[in-house]
Amino acid sequence: MPQYLALIYGPADQQAIRPEDFEGQMMADYAEFHEVAGPAGVIDGGNALYSTDTATTVSVLGGKGGEVVTTDGPFAETKEVLGGYYLLNCKDLDEAITWASRIPGAWLGKVEIRPVVEFSG
């Protein structure tokens, strides 16, 4: 069955500071999503991510074997940040869209769906 990576993006200004009741409700909404998607065999992994102030960006100047350069923070500054992901097992893109629309992060931000390349061997 094809896999799809569901990348959960939310407002950057809400990643670190959230009212207690919002965080509690959001966690309840994610628990409800897991209660449905888990038994359906859709979720094959996933995690929440720490805020962007914990990110480190790595690049290699000059390509392979070049100088490794690190920068504190994410690659790009944006209004929306990646907050977590799910690896979904779905028969096709339409089914992946259906499940992604049920991820609570889609209600306040966006969920990007990308098919996973499956290498053989």
Q: What is the pLDDT of residues 30-50, one digit of tens each?
A: 999 999 999 999 999 998 888
- The Cα 52–Cα 15 span in angstroms is 8
Please tell me the total count of domains within the chain.
1
**70 domain-assigned:** yes
Q: What is the pLDDT of residues 7-18, one digit of tens each?
A: 998 887 766 545
Q: Residue 20 maps to which CATH number?
A: 3.30.70.1060
**86 domain-assigned:** yes
DSSP bridge partners of 84: 8, 48
**121 domain-assigned:** no
Structural domain containing residue 40:
3-115
DSSP-derived 3-state class of residue 111: strand
Q: What percent of the chain has pLDDT over 70?
A: 88
The pLDDT of residue 107 is 81
- The Cα 78–Cα 100 span in angstroms is 22
> In which residue are the tokens 């979904």 written?
88
**56 domain-assigned:** yes
**54 domain-assigned:** yes
Residue 4, token pair as written in the block: 């799809």
Q: What is the pLDDT of residues 48-94, one digit of tens each?
A: 888 888 888 888 889 899 999 888 877 666 778 888 899 999 999 99
Please provide the distance, in angstroms rounded to a whole number, between the alpha carbons at the two ends of the chain.
Answer: 17
DSSP bridge partners of 111: 8
Contact 116, 6 (CB under 8 A): no
